[in-house]
Amino acid sequence: MTLLDVEDLAVRYETRDGPLYSVNGVSFSIDDGVNYGLSGESASGKSTTAKAILGLLPDHAVIESGSVEFEGRDLLALTPSQRQDMLWEEIAFIPQTAIDALDPVMTVGGQIVQAIQTHRELSDANARRRARELFEAVGLDAERTDEYPHQFSAGMRQRVVIAMALALEPKLIVADEPTTGLDVIVQDKIIDNILQIQEETDSSLLLITHDMSVIAETCDEMSVMYGGTVMEQGRVENVLLNPANPYTMGLKNAFPALEDEDEDLVSVPGEPPNLEAEPTGCVFEPRCPFASEACATREPEVEALPYRNHSVACHNAEHGAWMRRDAEDAST
Ligand code: ATP
Ligand code: MG
């Protein structure tokens, strides 16, 4: 069954310098129990997409079009209080900067207890016990529930936020770059924590990360975003092993570099897209080695390839396949 269905979502920010078309017609859906990866380089619109789904966009953001349904309910039409309930009970959000999710003047355990008791009839003692269990589930010492956010390292704070997000056993966990900026060993542990809890609670996961190796390890299906549009989507093994979009292909060439500390992950030559105007053609056209005339003038639709669960937005998708074969021939 479809849990989350996003159709043709478009979001622009009204900035002092004019509009910024950050998300331009994004569609994807997540079925029950599926781990879904949303990837793409910085500024591709991943966080904006997540915030639009969750109703957490700032006031200067405008949802231009699209629909977001969660179990058939229209999320964009919720009142703030309905949304508040939904966010804890059914969809948990682990934001890109964990510290934003924590109250600096309250113990972390106190915050978890408060979150639980706002939504569940649970005694103080039981809520505290639950907070301690959650701490252990994310690999933190249960004794530390009495400490304040500043007493934790960045990696531990991230785990506190995960524990908090999972307190009410949501159906969908949305995690925005939950491991960015943490060292690799901590990253692995946090991913393991999320996966373990997610399996135990049988929830679905929307994992936002620019790190393809994390998606490869963690997710069943994925979308690759660029310039606020979906370039390619489908089963992870199809997208990552047989990319059909030249952009994904370029990303994949950058894949080994992901192992480095290097934050500059994408080696596709050229500048990031200009988001100040609505795209008229393919957003990747200025950087694409295979761009043809149509690419500059006609936006490609995301279309299913003639095999299972793999779609691509590219007028010249077959070039992606050639490029892949050439790269493979060159490396053998
Ligand atoms: P990152 O990997 O760096 O987190 P992202 O894919 O999450 O990037 P977004 O944060 O969604 O990208 O940003 C998409 C575009 O929208 C960027 O150009 C960004 O500068 C712009 N943007 C994001 N948040 C705001 C905001 N609050 N106000 C104005 N512009 C914004
Ligand atoms: Mg982001």
Same domain, 106 and 86: no
HEC profile of the chain? CEEEEEEEEEEEEEECCEEEEEEEEEEEEEECCCEEEEECCCCCCHHHHHHHHHCCCCCCEEEEEEEEEECCEEHHHCCHHHHHHHHHHCEEEECCCHHHHCCCCCCHHHHHHHHHHHHCCCCHHHHHHHHHHHHHHCCCCHHHHHCCHHHCCHHHHHHHHHHHHCCCCCCEEEEECCCCCCCHHHHHHHHHHHHHHHHHHCCEEEEECCCHHHHHHHCCEEEEEECCEEEEEEEHHHHHHCCCCHHHHHHHHCHHHHHCCCCCCCCCCCCCCCCCCCCCCCCCHHHCCCCCHHHHHCCCCCEECCCCCEEECCCCHHHHHHHHHHHHHHHC
**How crowded is residue 111: how many other Cβ atoms within 10 Å of its Cβ?**
22
* CB-ligand 1 contact for 42 (6 Å cutoff): yes
Do the domain assignments include residue 301? yes
**How crowded is residue 52: how many other Cβ atoms within 10 Å of its Cβ?**
24
Residue nearest atom 27 of ligand 1, based on CA coordinates: 58
Q: For residue 95, which ligand has an atom nearest its CA?
A: 2
Same domain, 165 and 177: no
Residue nearest atom 1 of ligand 1, based on CA coordinates: 42
Quote the number of domains for the chain: 2
Do the domain assignments include residue 37? yes
Same domain, 123 and 154: yes
Query: Measured in angstroms, how far is the CA atom of residue 47 from the centroid of ligand 1?
Result: 7
CA dist., res. 194 & res. 182, Å (int): 15
Query: Measured in angstroms, how far is the CA atom of residue 43 from the centroid of ligand 1?
Result: 5
Identity of the amino acid at 257: A
Same domain, 165 and 176: no
Q: For residue 228, which ligand has an atom nearest its CA?
A: 1
Do the domain assignments include residue 65? yes
Do the domain assignments include residue 160? yes
* CB-ligand 1 contact for 300 (6 Å cutoff): no
Q: For residue 44, which ligand has an atom nearest its CA?
A: 1
Do the domain assignments include residue 190? no
Considering only CA atoms, which of 216, 205, 281, 220 is closest in space to residue 252?
216
* CB-ligand 1 contact for 255 (6 Å cutoff): no
CA dist., res. 48 & res. 290, Å (int): 29
CA dist., res. 172 & res. 209, Å (int): 16
Residue nearest atom 17 of ligand 1, based on CA coordinates: 43
Same domain, 128 and 154: yes
- With a CB cutoff of 8 Å and minimum separation 6, the contacts of 48 are 11, 13, 22, 23, 57, 61, 228
Can you give the pLDDT at residue 4?
98
Can you give the pLDDT at residue 254?
54
Do the domain assignments include residue 283? yes
Can you give the pLDDT at residue 97?
77
Q: Give me the domain span that covers residue 142.
A: 97-169
Residue nearest atom 29 of ligand 1, based on CA coordinates: 13
| CA of 40, closest atom in ligand 1 | 6
Same domain, 30 and 134: no
Asked if 212 and 218 count as a contact pair (C-beta separation under 8 A), the reply is: no
Do the domain assignments include residue 330? yes
Angle among Cα 264, 280, 283 to the nearest 5 degrees reads 15
* CB-ligand 1 contact for 43 (6 Å cutoff): yes
Same domain, 202 and 144: no
CA dist., res. 34 & res. 36, Å (int): 6
| CA of 51, closest atom in ligand 1 | 11
| CA of 228, closest atom in ligand 1 | 14
- With a CB cutoff of 8 Å and minimum separation 6, the contacts of 146 are 107, 109
CA dist., res. 28 & res. 90, Å (int): 19
Tens place of pLDDT per residue across the chain (332 aa): 999 999 999 999 999 999 999 999 999 999 999 999 999 988 999 999 999 999 999 999 999 999 999 999 999 999 988 998 888 789 999 888 777 788 999 999 999 999 899 888 999 999 999 999 989 888 899 999 999 999 998 888 888 988 888 888 899 999 999 887 777 887 888 888 888 878 888 899 999 998 888 899 899 999 999 999 999 999 999 999 888 898 888 876 654 444 444 444 445 677 888 899 888 899 999 988 888 899 999 999 999 987 778 999 999 887 656 666 666 666 66
Same domain, 175 and 242: yes
**CATH assignment at residue 65:** 3.40.50.300
* CB-ligand 1 contact for 47 (6 Å cutoff): yes
Same domain, 72 and 103: no
Same domain, 238 and 331: yes
Asked if 320 and 245 count as a contact pair (C-beta separation under 8 A), the reply is: yes
Do the domain assignments include residue 191? no
| CA of 15, closest atom in ligand 1 | 29
Residue nearest atom 31 of ligand 1, based on CA coordinates: 13
Can you give the pLDDT at residue 263?
42
Q: For residue 40, which ligand has an atom nearest its CA?
A: 1
Looking only at the bridges linking them, the beta strands covering 18-31 and 2-15 are antiparallel
Same domain, 14 and 74: yes
Same domain, 71 and 102: no
